[in-house]
Structures are given as structure tokens and as C-alpha cells.
Structure 1
Amino acid sequence: MAIELTDELIQLQRAAIEAQKTATAGPYSAEAWRPWLEAADQLQAAVTAHAKATSQNRFDVETALKKAVLHPEPTAG
């Protein structure tokens, strides 16, 4: 069964990745990392809710989401 992902999940994953890049670009500070941690919390809550709502395994949803965002399928032509 293919995992169905929403545009919202994809946007949240991208936002968490960008927040991570920003947070880790400089020296550590709790203030600098807060946006990343908040983005990650939002993402995890959305993945859990989506998995529950669609009766899918949460781990499978998260894995499919990361693969779709980090390693997208090449488009033809």
C-alpha cells in the first residue's frame, strides 16, 4: 500500500530542514535552535495525526515523507 502524503506534511518537512540548517549554521544557543525544535515538534505532531487519520504506520509515513523531500523521484523530460 502506497503512503499518501499531503502538501502540508511536505511543507512542514521542508520547513524543519530549513530551520535545522539555520540553527546549525552558527554556534549553539538555545535561542537559535528554538525555531528548529518548534518546527520539528510541529512536523512530528502532523505525521502522527496523519498516520492515525489514515490508519497507516507512523514510521512508514515519516520514512516516506523524508524520502519524498530529501530524495525525490526524478521527473521525466
Structure 2
Amino acid sequence: MAIELPDDLLALERAAWEEIQAGQLIPDTAAAVQRAITVHAEQAGVDRYEVEMALKKAVRHGA
């Protein structure tokens, strides 16, 4: 089953990934991503860890 990732969630993860690459990830950004992952997982009825893995794969590896 493919997990649908909304644009706002992808944008949050892209921002976090840019901060990570710059060595400047701040707790607020990380927390915002985690909150959004949890909300999306609950709304979609899927495991939050699967959402997180799909999100990281999409942003970091261009899948």
C-alpha cells in the first residue's frame, strides 16, 4: 500500500532536511514534523512509523 503524503507534510520534511544538512536543525522544526506525521497517520489510519519512513524516503531519496 502506497502512503499518500500531502504537500504540507512534504514541505515540512524538506525544511527539516535542509536544516539537518546545514547542521542547524532546531527543536521546533523537528517537533513540527513529528506532530504533522502523527496527525497524518491518525487521519489516514496508518502506522506513524510507516508515514515517517515514506516521508524520509520521498524527501531524502527522491522516491
Aligned-CA RMSD value: 1.4
One-letter amino acid matched to 1:44: Q
| Structure 2 unpaired stretches of 5+ | none
In terms of fraction of residues, the more helix-rich structure is: 2
Q: 1:1-77 counterparts in 2 under 5 A?
A: 1-22=1-22, 24=23, 36-73=26-63
Give the partner amino acid of 1:43.
Answer: V
TM-score, with length taken from structure 1: 0.74
AA partner of residue 52 (structure 2): E
Q: CA–CA distance in 1 between the matches of 2:54 and 2:35? A: 16
TM-score (norm 2): 0.89
Aligned length: 63
Q: What runs of 5+ residues in structure 1 fail to find an aligned partner?
A: 25-32
Moved segments of 4+, more than 3 Å: none
> Is the radius of gyration larger for structure 1 or structure 2?
1
Identity of aligned residues (%): 44
CA-to-partner distance for each residue in 1:16-65, whole Å, 9 max, x for gaps?
A: 1122233x2xxxxxxxx5x6211000000000000000101100000000
